[in-house]
Structure 1
Amino acid sequence: MQLQQTATQVLRGFLMGSADIVPGVSGGTVALVLGIYGRLVAAIRSVVAAMASLARADLPEAGRRLRAVPWVWLLALLGGVGAAILLLAALLERLLEQHPEPMAGLFFGLIVGAVVISWRLVRRVTWSSLVLTGLVAAAFFLLLGLQESTHAEGTELATRPWWAFFLAGAVAICAMILPGISGSFILLMLGMYTEVLGAVDDRNLPVLLAFLAGAAVGLASFSTLLSWLLEHYHDTVLAVLIGLMLGSLRILWPWPDGLESTTLGLPDGGPVLLPLALAAVGLLAVLGVEAVGERRGVSAPPRRG
């Protein structure tokens, strides 16, 4: 029975990991659909609290909190996430290299779907939140235009220094506890998405360890702050996130070079219908995941209407 439960948890982790490497679909969203989101957040908070107790040299309290962590459950889940990333990163990297416009179209639809879901999570729409979303979207759209390329040209290898992977991991991990945004989306914004994919595919252990160390530090440092912000400034945080997602669509516009460029253009001899069709598929996929969660009656953050 225990083996079956562990295998089920690994499968859940694999589904979450598969979602984590696709911008716009977060592992947290999949956890919500699977009905394990609340337990996952509680386990993460228990680990962070235990680490904080260790830092204060409060060993009895740290031991008590560590014993409260469902380690078999959590490690099986994380094992599934890691397996999905290792197995699927190479495939996704090849698709991005060989079919940049269609893949950009798919991601475009995924992000639009995430925007729709995030907008529905806003509890009370005000003019100030609308203005904030618009300003953030415009500012980020223009900021992205300052760089023509999102990664080193002609390569999918890890070309950035180790500290860039550390910082990327620290920031991207915060998406685990933010509704409507994924870690892969954060990496896209930072221009580190293909870099991390390349590092995973090439088993570049030094930079991967730097990325994981950054993720651990980021989770420990920001989880409490982000939870507090969402509790006290829920709609403001969502307004900023929605603005960032809207602004990031500049990267995901399929033409002329997919994710490799922030330059905007019209189709010029390349595929047109396929990127548009995949954008629709991406949008429907994200909305479908949410609909499945609603039909299952899984608890979700409060929403309007």
Structure 2
Amino acid sequence: MNYFAVFLKGIAMGAADVVPGVSGGTIAFITGIYTTLLQSITRVRPSLLGLLKEQGVAAAWRHINGNFLLALGSGILMSILSLAKLIHYLLAVGPEYLWSFFFGLILASCWYIGRQIPHWRAPQLLAVVMGAVIAAGVSLATPTEVAATLPVVFVAGSIAICAMILPGISGSFMLLLMGLYGPVMAAVSTLDLTFLGTLAAGAVLGLLLFSHLLQWLLHHYHATFLALLTGFMAGSLVKVWPWKETLLTRVNSHGAEVPFIQQNVLPVADIHLFAAVLLAGLGVVSVLILEKWAVKSH
């Protein structure tokens, strides 16, 4: 396995995870590492301690595909730490451009995952509709504000990581709904290790528990599960629609006024329309490139 390629895919996943409405799980799927990721994570279980005791660290590391997880995790971490400020700058100065790119990317991802479904029957049709309704409902939910205490941050980490590994459901948007997106981004910027360590601990627990469920669904209900993921991504398009009207603002951790509640609007006489369409097209092309890259990597 080309671990440098895995590292680059981790960078792409991290960049997606920073944007509310976009899931790193989507990137994992279209780059062909989603199944490997789930298999590797689910191997981290209590029985691993027995293997570690009997055969040593090297055997346990190979068992969990440690090189893969290290390369991918390093890419995700580096991306979040290095791109968080850039992504939020772009969201502040030209949000319709960034949203347009990801709208095209997610739209093409729906087509990509839909193509992987071997047959479309009643269960698959029901799953895609249910997934779209759930994702759209989450996307349209009104954010709340909660105190960023360490127990709350721990639980939020568990919830957000479950969303991040699920294509179509954005972990960063789940943080936004819980009112913790701003505090998390501030902690990343200032390297608040206590806050980030608590968030990471919750994320590890959530990831270990949720990955087993996803692995089971992918193995036993492959076509229906893929249809559900397709629906999740289709429903998430509501969140990444480029043109929005701000109904309510809030003051973030830096004292700046930022959008809090928004509604989608049509791009009537928008001078940015042409550039937005081009960027949406670039998002579509990016999926095609990632798909070809995934084929070459395998």
TM-score range, shorter chain: 0.7 to 0.9
Identity of aligned residues (%): 30
Amino acid at match of 1:274: A
Give CA deviations for 1:188-218 in whole Å, capped at 9, x if unaligned.
3553695344432232333322221122101
Change (3 A) 1:253 1:173: same
Aligned twin of 1:236: 224
Paired position in structure 2 for 1:283: 284
Q: Per-residue displacement from partner, 1:112-161 (whole Å, max 9, x unpaired)?
A: 122112111212211331133123323542453342xx587xxxxx9755
Distance 1:205 1:289 in 2: 34
**Aligned residue in 2 for 1:83:** 78
Q: Is contact 1:24–1:110 with CA below 8 Å preserved after alignment?
A: no
How big is the shift at 1:252?
A: 0.8
Are residues 191 and 102 of structure 1, via their aligned partners in 2, closer, same or farther at CA, if it must alter by over 3 Å? same
Tell me, yes or no, if structure 1 residue 216 matches structure 2 residue 204: yes
State whether structure 2 residue 176 is matched by structure 1 residue 191.
Answer: yes
Corresponding residue number in structure 1 for 2:126? 131
- Whether the 8 Å contact between 1:250 and 1:262 is mirrored in structure 2 is no
| Cα distance change, pair 182–249 in 1 and its aligned pair in 2 (3 A) | closer
* Cα distance per residue 1:59-115 (max 9 Å; x no partner): 544424743214566545533432222111111111111111111111111211221
**In 2 relative to 1, CA 281–98 (structure 1 residues): closer, same or farther, beyond 3 Å?**
same
Give me the CA root mean square deviation: 3.5
C-alpha distance in 1 between matches for 2:138 and 2:211: 27
Change (3 A) 1:254 1:159: farther
Instruction: Check whether the contact 2:31–2:293 (CA below 8 A) recurs between aligned residues.
Output: no
User: Which residue of structure 2 aligns with residue 266 of structure 1?
Assistant: 266
User: Taking structure 1 as reference, are residues 129 and 91 closer, same or farther at Cα in structure 2, changes over 3 Å only?
Assistant: same
Question: Which residue type is aligned with residue 120 of structure 1?
Answer: R
Shift in CA distance, 297/229, structure 1 to aligned 2, threshold 3 Å: same
Correspondence for 1:44: 41
Deviation, structure 1 residue 31 = 6.1
Instruction: State the AA in 2 paired with 1:186.
Output: G
**One-letter amino acid of the counterpart of residue 104, structure 1:** W
Say whether residues 1:67 and 2:68 are aligned partners.
no
Matches within 5 A, 1:57-206: 60-63=50-53, 64=55, 66-68=57-59, 69-70=61-62, 74-75=69-70, 77-142=72-137, 144-147=139-142, 160-174=148-162, 181=167, 185-188=170-173, 191=176, 194-195=181-182, 196-206=184-194
Q: Matches of 2:28 and 2:141 in 1, distance apart?
A: 31
Cα distance, 1:166 vs. partner?
3.1
Question: Residue in 2 aligned with 1:16?
Answer: 10
Change (3 A) 1:72 1:122: closer
**1:15 Cα deviation (Å)?**
4.3
Question: Which TM-score applies when normalising by structure 1?
Answer: 0.72
CA–CA distance in 1 between the matches of 2:67 and 2:128?
A: 41
Seen in structure 2, the aligned counterparts of structure 1 residues 186 and 79 have a Cα distance that, compared at 3 Å, is closer
Bigger drift between 8-17 and 280-289 goes to: 8-17
In the TM superposition, structure 1's runs of 4+ consecutive aligned residues that sit over 6 Å from their partners are none
Distance 1:198 1:44, change over 3 A: same
1:220 Cα deviation from its structure 2 partner: 1.8
Aligned length: 271
1:292 match: secondary structure = helix
1:289 partner amino acid: L
Check whether the contact 1:15–1:84 (CA below 8 A) recurs between aligned residues: no
- Report if the CA contact (8 A) 2:100-2:242 is conserved: yes
CA contact (8 A) 2:100 2:276 kept: yes
Q: What is the one-letter code of the residue matched to 2:58?
A: R
Gap change, CA 1:73 and 1:244, over 3 Å in 2: closer
Contact 1:13 1:76 in 2 (8 A): yes
Higher strand share: 2
